[in-house]
A and B are shown apart, each in its own frame.
Chain A
Amino acid sequence: MPVVHEFSIAEAIATQVLSYAPVGRRLRGVEIRVGALRGLDSEALQMAWEAVTFGTSMAESVLAVDQRPWSITCSECGREWTSPVPFVSCSCGNQTPSPTGGDELDLLAVTVDEEDGEEAT
Chain B
Amino acid sequence: MGESIRTVRVPIVERVLEANDEIAAKTRAELGRRGIFSIDLIGAPGSGKTALLEATLQRLAGRRRPAVLVGDLATRRDGDRLARWCERVVQISTGEGCHLEAGQVRDALGDVDLEGVDLLFIENVGNLICPVGFDLGQTSKVGLFSLTEGDDKAAKHPYLVTAADLILLNKLDLAPYLTFDRAGFEADVRLLNPTVPIIDISATTGAGFDDWLAWLDRGLAGRHN
A residues sitting closer than 8 Å to B (CB atoms) are 2, 4-5, 8-9, 12-13, 15-16, 20, 28-29, 32, 37-39, 86-87, 96, 98-99, 101, 103-116, 120-121
Is B99 positioned at the interface, with any CB of A under 8 Å from its CB? yes
Given contact pairs A16-B16, A32-B16, A98-B191, A112 touches B7 in the complex (Cβ within 8 A): yes
Is B20 positioned at the interface, with any CB of A under 8 Å from its CB? yes
Is B46 positioned at the interface, with any CB of A under 8 Å from its CB? no
Is B199 positioned at the interface, with any CB of A under 8 Å from its CB? no
Produce 1/0 per residue, B5-41, CB < 8 A to A.
1111111111111111000000000000000000000
Q: Nearest Cβ distance between residue B71 and chain A, in whole angstroms? A: 13
Chain A residues within 8 Å of B3, by CB: 115-116
Q: Nearest Cβ distance between residue B113 and chain A, in whole angstroms? A: 31
Contact B20 A12 (CB under 8 A): yes
Chain A residue with Cβ nearest B8: A114
Chain A residues within 8 Å of B191, by CB: 86-87, 96, 98-99
Considering the chains assembled together, what is the distance between the CA atoms of A116 and B4 in angstroms? 6
Identify whether the interface residues of B are mostly helix, strand, loop, or mixed. mixed
Contact of A116 among B5, B157, B159 (CB under 8 A): B5
Which parts of B197-220 form the interface with A (CB within 8 Å)? Answer: none
Chain B residues within 8 Å of A103, by CB: 133, 159, 162-163
Contact B13 A96 (CB under 8 A): no
Is B155 positioned at the interface, with any CB of A under 8 Å from its CB? yes
Which parts of B137-192 form the interface with A (CB within 8 Å)? Answer: 155, 157-159, 162-163, 187-188, 191-192
